[in-house]
Structure 1
């Protein structure tokens, strides 16, 4: 077939060349060649189709493949923004009261503080009554305009302050609110806290108080009485007797001072003695004194703790001791 077409093509070419002039011959020759080339392409396609056949229809889609393996976890994302503050919740109900615990053991008592100290003139010179010292309220009697501080009041009819009473040797008060110059007994803290250079001693009989002054220096009245040691004074018999104009004493001995008593050790308990006062004796010694005038006194069975005693004379008084 292909050879036949080639022969035809050559014959046509010769015919064209023989019957046409040169310009027309070229144009015709171009057309013949183009037709020849087109025919050649168609002839090639026909040959291809005759060898392989026409293209078949598109095949059906294949089945989907198996799922792939799971990928790795992604990294953590950025931190989210903080949310807004929520509303305040309502207050809960009060819980039940707890059980009361046991009482703890009481701690030991602390050491006792040192006694307070008065200044040399504790009473104000322009008033009497109460005053303050040692940062606590302490009531003391003050003799107006003279600066005397009350220490003690003794009722000679009572045995509260007789020579043997422990009130002379301890630091305990007795009715410390009885501050007036009346007949009620009292012992104030000034007994052991008041330094002094003078004592003011008074005795009241029939409503009249008579006073004497005794010059003596000590850290307190307690310091010169509590230990029981004799300490002498020198104001003399007449001054002591001026406390009681009707007083009576023996003629001899004339021993005066603090803790004054018989000088013979075997006679101390059987004869006159005084915590502060004057003793006398009938003999020319102080072995057996039988009369006294003073404070904190006694003689044998005599029950006079402040005043004057001599045989038939037994004057019991209300006595006062003050200091400055």
Structure 2
């Protein structure tokens, strides 16, 4: 009989060693040192249960639990929260969010048989997997063709819309917005999605740390809980209300397709921005998805830049 798989997410190596000694003969164990590594392992493996440490750097266990419970693909997987410093407030918070059980590490390591019984009680009979579709390569080619057609026969707004719709269909994006940056200030170009944040415009965005960092570093960012990581996401509280647990921000550069290609598909460090894209959804982003989306949107941006120049030539 094939062993059931338990994903352990804990930044303490000692916990990994002890759990392997306790459970290794009975279960197939996968170990993650961080929340994002746990998300990536969940995408690569079929999981029957998650053991989640509550105290971790960057994205904490509570913050990851919030995102898992929002994620339509992962929320059916049982999550047992474990902690070395149990308090009634933390336990109540974890259970309210959706934790199946809450255990102290003291109990976990001193009551081996009881802990195994707890695991067996909650293990899914049929493992779940959060998997990236293999169709993305074909989808990317289709989207690129549509944008290239717009570059000849269409306009900037139409090309942005086609890119947005293609990404929403291929990557389950719930909300996407395109912004231009002119004289260091953002302006909304286009937003699409059923879950539209209200009363949020350029003035509000200027106060967001995520926007300021993107504009300063000219680098993409990703977070699987916009309210975590020192407010790394934009309109974080509204996003939570709308059930949008994850976010990516991708810069758009002032470089055309030919120059980009001649430069080995690399953006020169001195290239300024003309805009950026924000993606939000109710599923966590894996590292692979984030890297694929970043590269693809930056590539598409080289086509959009040509259309943008035609539209805003008098203001650039």
Q: Under a length normalisation based on structure 2, what TM-score does the superposition of the two structures give?
A: 0.19
- Specify which structure has the higher proportion of helix: 2
Structure with the largest fraction of strand? 1
* Rg comparison, structure with higher value: 1
Q: TM-score, normalised by structure 1?
A: 0.19
